[in-house]
Chain A
Amino acid sequence: MTFTQECAIPVDRERLWDFLMEVPKVARCVPGVETIEAVDASAYKGSLRVQVGPIRLSLQGTMTVEEQDRASWRARMRAEANDRRVGGGIRARMSLTLAPGEGGTRLRIETDLAVLGRIGEFGQPVIKKKADALLEEFAQNLGSRLQQGG
């Protein structure tokens, strides 16, 4: 499944870019992220908790930054995570683009997401809605954190 999301972050492009390239800091703005640690210069491992109705997922996995191109304000990353108990996981490729916007920067996220196993069977219909809710909260967290001085 592919989808594109956009949000406005009330800081300039340079500041947002610098912040976004510091993965552990960004991760703390993602709702549900419990741990994040660097494996090497571009790879990280961590865990994320998500709740869909009565189902609580604990996703353990890795994230790799594949491209950071400041000249074109674009970054690409790949994430893989699994929930061992439920059986299933996610594979995601994400592309971030920063464009100047009214009162700050427009962050555009294109995602190609596969949700596998039992999680997919149950959650497929609401993945997009969950992703939208997650992004909205992420954008708020990011905005308030950057306005507090990062």
Chain B
Amino acid sequence: MNAFEYAAPRTLDEALSILGEHGDDARVIAGGTALVTMMRQRLVSPGYLVSLREIPGLDRIEAANGDVRIGALATHRAVETSPLVQERIPVLAETFRRVASVRIRNMATVGGALAHADPNQDPPVTLIALGARVALRGAGGKREVPVEDFFRDYYESALGPGEVVTGVMVPRLPASSGAAYVKFLPRTADDYATVAVAATVTLEPDGERCRAARIALGSVSVTPIRAQGAETLVVGQRLGVDLLPAAGEAVKRVVDPLSDHRGSAAYKREMAAVMVGRALTQAWDAARASARGTR
């Protein structure tokens, strides 16, 4: 690993000013699970590391204007075990629980994982299905980007130069809704998914027909993706034997998997259709239970 300078500012403004001063040579570090690995492999060699860990409050998980706001410095483990997240958005707690091993979850942060933009991660998939937004701050001010628009290419995000992820805002699902995250994991429990799918389903007052749905997938393209074609197919429908294969076919048309040691592109494409069927079924069942509970 190359030698580098290390700064641990106490305020975000100070962090942004250091980033502005050092430009390309500076990298933000939070939990370090991704960046340090890449530095060890010399894939990246920043001359300046700006840690966000000394900035107070950046790890908060709180309710804000109907959303759950998760600070960038919250660890995966903190989201997994947060009573607020478990109560309001249980699918998100479950998604974070599925990430790697507990040792990694204790270090890896929510903001760091988003900024890393690895297309095989779990949280972005569920965040897209939930309609979450990433909060960013740079020298020019604050902005919010829907998570589905945040990922641009393989390990590339919408983060501008000198910009930092400050948190993620997750809206609450409407009444009569259900959500599911399914991770196809044929190798080891701490592996990246071969295919991952998150789905949310909101039902009409009849408790059967779908009013709204969102479907997102991970590990099937150079970024996590949203499958809007499949969503359109299920809206207005009841969960029937024909619906899931049709949704699966629609998903196969938008995935573009990479062949790797977790499977060939063709295999992952087939499994994407299967996993979408499972995620929709689970989300639908949860939505029905929720509809029964609220009537």
Task: Say whether, besides A125-B260, A126-B222, A86 and B154 are in contact (CB < 8 Å).
Answer: no
Q: How large is the interface on A (under 10, 10 to 19, 20 to 34, 35 or more residues)?
A: 10 to 19
User: Chain A 120-143, CB within 8 Å of chain B: the 1/0 string?
Assistant: 011011100100000000000000
Q: Which of B42, B44, B153, B258 contacts A125 (CB 8 A)?
A: B258
User: Given A125-B258, A126-B222, A126-B258, A55–B154 Cβ distance below 8 Å?
Assistant: no
Alpha-carbon distance between A122 and B41 when the two chains are bound, in angstroms: 10
If A52-B154, A52-B155, A54-B155 touch, does A86 touch B259 (CB 8 Å cutoff)? no
Within the assembled complex, what's the spacing in Å between the Cα atoms of A120 and B42? Answer: 13
With both chains docked as a complex, state the minimum distance between the C-beta of A120 and any C-beta of chain B, in angstroms.
11
Q: Which of B41, B156, B222, B258 has the most chain A CB atoms inside 10 A of its CB?
A: B41
* A133–B44 CA distance with the chains assembled, in angstroms: 23
Which residues of the partner chain A approach B41 to less than 8 Å between Cβ atoms?
A: 86, 118, 121-122
B176-229 with Cβ < 8 A to chain A? 222
Q: A54 near B38 (CB under 8 angstroms)?
A: yes
Chain B neighbourhood of A104, CB < 8 A: none
Number of A-B pairs, beta carbon distance below 8 Å: 39
Do A53 and B42 touch (CB < 8 A)?
no
CB distance from A146 to the nearest CB of B (A): 29
Q: In the bound complex, what is the Cα–Cα distance between A122 and B155 (angstroms)?
A: 11
Is there contact, CB below 8 Å, between A54 and B44?
Answer: yes
Q: Is the CB of A53 within 8 A of B117?
A: yes
Give the docked Cα–Cα distance between A53 and B259 (Å): 18
Task: Say which residue of B45, B153, B258 sits within 8 Å of A85 (CB atoms).
Answer: B45
- Nearest to A53 among chain B residues (CB) is B155
For B43, the chain A residues whose CB sits under 8 A away are: 54-55, 86, 118, 122
A87 touches B38 (CB 8 A): no
Point out the residues of chain B lying under 8 angstroms from A129, CB to CB. 154, 222, 258
Instruction: Provide the residues of chain A in CB contact with B42, threshold 8 Å.
Output: 85-87, 118
Residues of chain B with a CB closer than 8 A to A54's CB = 38, 43-44, 155-156
Q: How far is the CA of A97 from the CA of B41 in the complex (A)?
A: 38
Are B153 and A53 in contact, with the CB atoms below 8 A?
A: yes
Cβ-closest chain A residue relative to B155: A53
* Contact partners of A124 in chain B: CB under 8 A: 260
Q: Which residue of A lies closest to B43 (CB)?
A: A55
- A residues within 8 A CB of B155? 52-55
Cβ–Cβ < 8 Å partners of B259 in chain A: 125
Q: 23 pairs across A/B with beta carbons < 8 Å?
A: A52-B155, A53-B153, A53-B155, A53-B156, A54-B43, A54-B44, A54-B156, A55-B38, A55-B43, A85-B42, A85-B45, A86-B42, A118-B41, A118-B43, A121-B41, A122-B41, A122-B43, A125-B154, A125-B258, A125-B260, A126-B258, A129-B222, A129-B258
The residues of A with any CB-CB pair to B shorter than 8 Å are: 52-55, 85-87, 118, 121-122, 124-126, 129
